[in-house]
Chains A and B, each alone.
Chain A
Amino acid sequence: MENVKNLVRMEGYKLLCIRRALLGYLVLMVFSAFAMQSAVFFFFILLYLLTYTPIAYDERSKGDYHIGVLPVERVQVVQAKYLVSLVELVLLSLLIGVSGSLVNRLCEIPEAYRISFGGIMSLFFGGAMFVGVVMPCLLWLGSIKARYLVMAVYLLMFAAMGAVSYFDNQWITRTAHAGGVWLIPSGLAILLFSYAVAVPLYRRRQFTN
């Protein structure tokens, strides 16, 4: 457990190093919380950056070699990555929730566009699904090889949302608002399943370049 804690701390330092790339989006996300649709957009952009960038940073600066020479089990590296992702998911959802409720108090926002409790739950679930699909690919293939796959998942997600909005522009908001607390255990279950897939994949990975 001590090693996992140290690896989580290491991820934290890494995020601090790339904070400039993230800060702008974070501010935009907070200020976009006047409407569910814009909050969703920035939430997923930020989540993409938080998931992809540290691994890409590692690969570019050979940071994965650095982790590779530490006296840790590979399973601990995966545990740390998932823990950090979970914390990021929770924090982003909370941030949108807090800024959304502030905006709701200060401004007159139509009911349909407001950030609701159900909406936050749906965001968490959607984020867990995104991390659950992308993280095993990144850990198995590395950021360079997996980038097209990650991009494809991302585009597919936005294309699906766009297509649905085209036919029924209230569907996303309606569905999001309909979310409940049950989405939290569902999201956690997805992450847990994804973790179980990622562990053997990362164990098989060899650092050739």
Chain B
Amino acid sequence: MNVIEINGLKKRFEKGQFCLDLPEMQVQEGYITGFIGENGAGKTTTLKLMMDMLYPDEGTIQILGMDAHLQGPQVRAQIGYVGSTPGYLEHATLETLKRMHAPFYKDWDENLYRKFCDRFSLDGKKKYKDLSTGKQKQFSLCIALSHHPKLLLMDEPTANLDPLARQEMLDILADELQNEGVSVFFSTHITSDLDKIADYVQFLHGGRLLLAGEKDRICEENRVVKGPLHLLTPETESLFVNLRRSEFGFTGLTGCPDEVFGLLGDEAVYEKPTVEDIFLGYTQAERGY
């Protein structure tokens, strides 16, 4: 089953000449899906459309089988949302913020909230503005998870975090998925996070979905090929998604490694790509590199 289903979605912004165009997009239930794209690709816009903060010009978004626009409050009751800027009252204490937030959710679990606070060492008496960026994000996650959401939506949750805080955040996501079966959809441009925990990835570029699917399968189907320049011919070049040349040779991403191997043989080196290699490869190809 899909937790998110997008059909024929279009959202235009006249001033910026930007158009988000997602004819079809699905997010699988019970998995962690990474939503990757460069700045301005449309990640936050997509998330805002899901939360009904923006309205689509065309198309529909179904979340957990409900229409995100027509059944907004019912949908949001099932979602834990961690925004890039959560918008909490900065001068309020964490306890006050929790008291403000909790009554909106029928399934609010005070014990779970306390458990998360203990895990993140969050002191309820502290003011939100006095927390470090990492702690602020952890508090947002704490709030988002304490009402047993079925879906966790996150907008750049690991941005501006140090490696340790980032790892803690990723650990929590993995735990939640394992223990509670929460489906996670998060936008990021930190590709190493996706390498670590994502099951599925969606690549967004210029408001369009470039590539989507199971991360391991995408990585298996593609290869980074390195070799001397003389191996490049018009026939071989056409098999690469992108190519970078230097005086030492070439590096390129290919989506048909068997055919490339058939042409280049052992003279070239073949490596399994990371999510970043794939993201850069396809994005650069779109930009005409």
Contact = CB atoms under 8 A, between A and B. Distances in A.
A65 B89 CA distance: 12
B121 interface: no
Nearest to B15: A208
Interface string A46-64: 0000000000011001111
Given A9-B100, A207-B53, A208-B54, A69 B89 contact: no
A165 B90 CA distance: 43
Interface stretch (B72-80, B197-205, B277-285): B72-80
> Contact residue range for chain A?
20 to 34
Contact of B81 (A10, A17, A69, A206): A69
Nearest to A9: B100
Interface of B: 13, 48, 51-55, 72-74, 76-77, 79, 81, 83, 85-92, 96, 100-101, 103-105
Interface of A: 2-3, 6, 9-10, 13-14, 17, 57-58, 61-73, 206-208
Contacts of B72: 73
Contacts of B52: 68
A14 B48 CA distance: 24
A120 B92 CA distance: 34
Given A71-B74, A71-B77, A207-B53, A13 B90 contact: no
11 contacts: A3-B104, A13-B100, A62-B85, A62-B86, A65-B53, A70-B101, A71-B105, A72-B104, A73-B73, A206-B55, A207-B54
Contact of A62 (B74, B77, B87, B103): B87
Given A68-B51, A69-B51, A71-B77, A58 B96 contact: no
B87 A64 contact: yes
Given A10-B100, A71-B76, A66 B105 contact: no
| 8 smallest beta-carbon distances between A and B, as pairs | A66-B87, A62-B87, A71-B77, A62-B85, A207-B53, A71-B76, A65-B87, A17-B91
Given A62-B83, A68-B51, A69-B76, 12 more contacts: A10-B100, A13-B92, A13-B100, A14-B89, A17-B90, A61-B87, A61-B89, A64-B87, A65-B87, A69-B81, A71-B104, A207-B54
B288 to A, nearest CB: 29
B76 A70 contact: yes
A136 B90 CA distance: 26
Contacts of B73: 71-73
